[in-house]
């Protein structure tokens, strides 16, 4: 595989080059450094290209928040494999068993994902929501690297894709709300479970025996739902 590395010039030229859009929320996997040196960490996070910075909004309960706050750097990985989103979204993931997904590239301080299509290294400038339960880090893009051989294969539209992505996000909310255990958050859980059941019905109908069917079953097992 050939990779091309480059320094970041401006957000405008970058979004033009990769046909992205400012102010859209892109779902990515953000890699960071654990407090132990050379030990990568990663979790799915939405990111937004704003006019002169990139916004990343981790909940302060997440390890990603802790590592970004402490080490002031991170890598945004654009990945289109939903199974990876599922694996890295889990609160109880064992990072020591997930090291094979990462690679180190020169000029990047944080490891990137081996099968990232595009990765951007950022410097964390400041948290503009200091008093909120969810931070908003202003990030300055430094370098990027992309896979030149990557060519999007034709992918027929299937409703399971959207349903499984929503299900993974809701599963992380259910885990978090159970853990935080406030009356307001607990009252939201039943609504999220109804949505999961709705998405499961659709996934089973439109994409049976697929990796998406496996993910939705695994979500129900892990969260002990029926
Ligand atoms: C597609 C997707 C997007 C997500 N976006 C965010 C986000 O922007 N901020 C956040 O705190 N959690 C987000 N999450 C949930 C975290 O990935 C999840 O809580 C994870 O367990 C945090 O892991 P960590 O503690 O290892 O950082 C998202 C999950 C998914 C599947």
Q: pLDDT digit string (tens) for 170-199?
A: 999 999 999 999 999 999 999 999 999 999
Ligand 1 pocket: which of 62, 67, 81, 94 to mutate (most atoms within 8 A of CB)? 62
Specify the pTM.
Answer: 0.94
pLDDT at 124 (0 to 100): 98
User: Is residue 166 within 6 Å of ligand 1 at its C-beta?
Assistant: no
Low-confidence residues of the chain: pLDDT under 70: 1, 37
Ligand 1 pocket: which of 26, 45, 83 to mutate (most atoms within 8 A of CB)? 45
pLDDT at 145 (0 to 100): 96
Summarize pLDDT for 148-173 with one digit per residue, the tens.
887 777 878 999 999 999 999 999 99
Q: Which three-class secondary structure string do you get for 100-148? A: HHEECCCCCCCCEECCCCEEEEEEEEEECCCCCCECCEEEEEEEEEEEC
Q: Give the CA radius of gyration of the chain.
A: 18
User: Is residue 80 within 6 Å of ligand 1 at its C-beta?
Assistant: no
User: Is residue 63 within 6 Å of ligand 1 at its C-beta?
Assistant: yes
Check the CA dihedral 60-62-66-67 and report its sign: negative
CATH number belonging to domain 3-147? 2.30.110.10
pLDDT at 18 (0 to 100): 93
pLDDT at 1 (0 to 100): 66
pLDDT at 156 (0 to 100): 84
Q: 226: CA distance to ligand 1 center in Å?
A: 24
> What does the DSSP 8-state code read for residue 154?
P
pLDDT at 37 (0 to 100): 67
Q: 206: CA distance to ligand 1 center in Å?
A: 26
């Amino acid at each position: 595989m050939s990779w091309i590395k480059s320094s970041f010039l401006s957000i405008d030229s970058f979004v033009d080059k990769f046909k992205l859009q400012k102010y859209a929320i892109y779902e990515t996997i953000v890699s960071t450094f654990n407090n132990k040196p050379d030990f990568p960490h990663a979790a799915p996070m939405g990111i937004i290209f704003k006019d002169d910075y990139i916004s990343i909004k981790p909940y302060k309960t997440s390890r990603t928040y802790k590592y970004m706050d402490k080490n002031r750097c991170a890598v945004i990985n654009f990945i289109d494999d939903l199974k990876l989103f599922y694996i890295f979204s889990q609160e109880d993931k064992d990072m020591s068993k997930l090291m094979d997904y990462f690679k180190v590239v020169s000029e990047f301080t944080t490891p990137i994902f081996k099968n990232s299509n595009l990765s951007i290294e950022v410097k964390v400038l400041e948290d503009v929501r200091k008093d909120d339960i969810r931070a908003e880090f202003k990030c300055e893009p430094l370098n990027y690297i992309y896979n030149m051989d990557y060519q999007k294969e034709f992918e027929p539209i299937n409703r399971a894709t959207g349903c499984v992505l929503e299900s993974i996000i809701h599963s992380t909310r259910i885990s978090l709300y159970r853990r935080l255990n406030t009356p307001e958050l607990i009252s939201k859980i039943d609504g999220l479970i109804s949505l999961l059941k709705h998405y499961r019905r659709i996934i089973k109908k439109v994409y049976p025996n697929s990796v998406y069917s496996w993910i939705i079953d695994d979500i129900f097992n892990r969260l002990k739902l029926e």
